[in-house]
Every structure is written in structure tokens, then in C-alpha cells.
Amino acid sequence: MILDCITISNIVLAGERADALDAQRFYIGGEWVESCGEGRVTVLCPADLTPIGQAAMGTIEDADRAVRAASAAFDVWQSSNVADRLELIRRMRAAFAKAAPGIADHLVREIGLTPMVAQGQTAMCLSHFDSIIDLLPGYRFSEALGDRIELVREPVGVVAAITSWNAPVSQMLCKAVPAIAAGCTVVVKPSEHAPLCGLLLAEAMAEADIPAGVFNLINGRGVDCGRRLAEHPDVAMISMTGSVAGGGAMAAAAAAGIKRIHQELGGKSPNVILPDADFAESITKGVHICMMNAGQTCAAPTRLIVPADRFDEAAAIAVAAAQKLVVGPPDQPGVTYGPLANKAQFERVNATIERAIAEGQPLLTGGPGRPSHVDNGYFVRPTIFGPVAPDARIAQEEIFGPVLCILCYSDIDDAIRIANSTDFGLSAYVETPDPVLARRVAGAIRAGWVNINYPPWTGAAPFGGYRRSGNGRQYGVWGFEEFLETKAIVH
């Protein structure tokens, strides 16, 4: 996939490969600037492990100067009117729409997404713009409560957006767009495992004539650059998508500043197949959704919960569905999913599968190691275990790979108990043609986002989790209001 479909002025083509990227600069205060440090990472294509570029890793000094730029811009941008903000969001959308095909192509190479998933993620990005464009004109930033109280909603301040590598551009925009529309200024730090796509996004945003300092982007590691953003006294809010461990570290770093923390973290989503569901259809779809993007989806239905007396039937359907999946280079026709995104995740997923086997969990299909037809790249076979006890480690811990556990329930109440038996609560799935039963079970599951019979994705619904899956919500008015403070003026 060649990136010459994008005009890349600050991500310089370098090296022997014509499509290798040399991303040595950051976008701060409306300008492209050199990193203060000399740290660099070589980015590998996860499908064949060939270098596709280099990226500078920012320092504490880089974080400080990005915050300074955002803080200076906030003094002006917080007072901007709705019409100006709306016009800016429209310009940002137009710039992104122009760059989206090239960014989607790049996601195939840097993250290992199939073209279908990459294009789906850029479509999600456009929906983040569209929801704010629809919301902003009618939003009431001030309203009267009775005769003596005026309720005012004001921007929280400088926002540090720390994002994940599995859906990197979508996660950057679902934070930056509502924050800027709310009157905040933003410093975005992508994952160090996906540094190039962040610079491509910044290239697009630079074309939107954003006021200097309103949108800033730096690359860097979480342990230094990310931590500095979290603890910086001039950062008012941290909005993070990532692992539970990473979220805990960022929250600890931010704690002394008593600042707002918004986190979308891990999941171990249950998929409850009720007795009256169409097993062939429901289980097959569940396997496909679980394995999509090589299982690297926080909302993936990784725990298939089925009636105990129909385990054999359910397992046979699940195994047949998994064995029909095609694993290979993501840009090849007919491939269901490509590689895991990076070496660390590849090693972690394989170690988890090996440990589960050593602990005696029944392996139904798949297992550790690459599929037999590939000898390179971070590919993992679709793997299913079952029956698995609800308290087994593999049923409790997020794996973030193409691994499914089948668990068994005795009755509806037992299914609900099992669904709620982890520390996570990001998403859940319920399959039944009975709307009353579906609503009963959905209402009893402790999760922030519950899907009944696999509805299409919508950015109009708030997304976020209970318990260790995080706090706060993204998308729509709920995601927009995360970036606002509420002031009461009483007279």
C-alpha cells in the first residue's frame, strides 16, 4: 500500500522503500517542530515485519511545550462563539474526509487491519464529526433554573488525550472533536505502538486552519511523555483509552492534581445465548465479531455463555465458524483478519493461550503459534476453549486476541450471574427473539453498552464502562459534556 495518495509534507519519505515514513516532528502550536529528544522507534508492518517508518519519541520537555501551547490557546478559544467552533469542526471534517482513504490504507500497514475494518474505522471518524455538527447549534450552554439560578456550562480546560493502538485515529478524534467543540484545547498522544497514523492525522488537521495551539499532537511513551501529561498542573483533564494497567498508572499520576479522569479501558464482554435464540446464526455471528480485527477490540464478545445442556451443539457451531475464518496478510482478498498489531501483543496472546492449556482448559480449536500456512508476521490462529469455568483466569482476564471462551449456565439467573462475574463492565451481548426477555437480561447485566441481537454500530449511543472498564462516556451529547464544567450562578 503506497501512501503517495496523501500529500505528506512533514512526514518525510525516507529509506530504500518508497513508502517508508520518517516521522521525526510533532505538531505543536500550529507548527511542525523537531522533538527535544533523540529517541526513535522503528515501526514494523505486523504482517511481514518489514520496516515501514521511524517515529520520534517525545520527552517530558516535548509534553511541556505542547501543554504550554494548548494553555496559551485556551485563553482565547474558551471564549469563542458557537458559530466559530462549528465552522472549525466543519473544516476539520472536510480535511479528514480528503485524507481518509490514504489513512485507511496506512492502517492496513501499520496496525494490520483488513481494508474493510480500516475503512469502517475512518467512517466512524466521520461520524464523530457529524454528531458534533448536529449537536452544537442547538446545545444550551446557559439556561435558567427557576428565578434565581443560571446554569452555565464552560470548557474544562486543556485536555490530554492518550489513545490506544487498535483503533488509533477513531480514538483520537472521538476525544479531540468534542473537546474542541466544547471550547477546550487538546494535546493528543497516540500509543507508541501506532505513532505514524497520528502524524498523518495531524497532517490532515493542519490543512483545516485550526487556530494555533487548539490541536496539538506529540508522540511518546506512556512511562515518561504520557505520565508528564497526566501530572502536568496545566492539564485539566485526562481522556484515555487503553489497558486497565495503563489507566491506573495515568490516574495515579493525575491524582495529586485532582483533575478530571475519563477512561475507556478493557473488557471481557459476555455474549448470552438464550435458549430460544437461533444458535447457528447467533453463535456464528458472535464468533465473527469476537475474532474481527484479530480480537483486538475492547467490546469483543469474548465469553460465549450458552445453556449447559446444549454445550456440545454450541461448541460445534463455534468451532465450525472459527475454522472457516481466513487468517493472512490483511490486504489479500478473502482474508477475515490479519496479524496482531505488534510484537508485545503477539507474545502476550500466545503466552496466555499456552498458560490456559497448561492449566487444563479444554482447547477446542486453534492454539498457540502461527497458522500453518504463514511463517512470518504476528498472526494467531482463531482459538476456542470450552467448557470454561467462570472463575478461570482465561475467562476473567482480557486477552485482546482471537480467543473465545465458552461458558455454561443452568438457567437465566445463572446466565446473568456469569455475565456479571468479572471485574469488567464495558459491553455485553444478548441473543433472543423475545424482546421482553432480552430487556430483562440486558437490564440485569452490569455493563455500559448492551447489544441485543447484534444491532448495527451507532455513534448516537453513549459508550463507556462500569467498574474496571473505566468511567465516563464517549460519543454524542454524553461524550461532549465530558469536556464541560457546570457552573451555577445564583442571584
Residue 8 has pLDDT above 80, yes or no: no
Catalytic option among 110, 192, 231, 264 = 264
Cα of 338 vs its chain's centroid, Å = 18
Beta-ladder partners of 405: 303, 385
Backbone angles phi, psi at 466, to 5 degrees: -95, 165
Q: Does residue 109 carry a pLDDT above 90?
A: yes
Catalytic residue among 225, 298, 405, 408: 298
Q: Which parts of 445-484 fold into alpha helices (H)?
A: 476-481
- Per-residue pLDDT, 3: 34
- HSE-CB at 132 with a 13 A cutoff on CA atoms is 33
Q: How confident is the model at residue 458 (pLDDT cuts 50, 70, 90)?
A: confident
Which CA distances in Å does 264 have to 86, 246, 420? Answer: 26, 11, 18
Is residue 13 scored above 90 in pLDDT?
Answer: no
| Residue 151 cell numbers, joined | 446554569
User: What residue ranges in 255-345 does DSSP mark as E strands?
Assistant: 260-264, 270-273, 303-307
479-484 mean pLDDT: 97
- pLDDT at res. 4: 31
Of 470, 468, 464, 465, whose CA–CA distance to 174 is shortest?
464
Which percentage of the chain shows pLDDT scores above 90? Answer: 89
Identify the bridge partners of residue 55 per DSSP, sorted by sequence position.
23, 41
In the predicted model, what is the mean pLDDT of residues 34-46?
Answer: 92
Distance CA 198, CA 186 (A): 14
Residue 38 is among the residues annotated as catalytic for this protein: no
Domains of the chain: 59-265+469-490 (3.40.605.10), 270-458 (3.40.309.10)
pLDDT at 24: 81
**171 in Cβ contact with 66 (< 8 Å):** no
The answer to whether the CB of 137 falls within 8 A of the CB of 86 is yes
How far, in Å, CA of 126 to CA of 122, rounded? 7
pTM, to two decimals: 0.93
**Omega of the bond prior to 387 within 30 degrees of 0, cis?**
yes
| Angle of CA points 385, 291, 297, to nearest 5° | 110
Q: 140-146 long-range contacts, Cβ below 8 Å, gap at least 24? A: 141/82, 145/488
In angstroms and rounded to an integer, the radius of gyration of the C-alpha atoms of the chain is: 23
* Long-range CB contacts (within 8 A, 24+) of 141-147: 141/82, 145/488
pLDDT in tens, 221-247: 999 999 999 999 999 999 999 989 888
The answer to whether residue 264 is catalytic is: yes
Cell output for 202: 495531524
Q: What is the DSSP string of 204-230?
A: HHHTTTPPTTTEEE----IIIIIHHHH
CA gap 18, 13 in Å, rounded: 7
The predicted pLDDT at position 9 comes to 38
pLDDT tens digits for range 281-336: 999 999 999 999 999 999 999 999 999 999 999 999 999 999 999 999 999 999 99
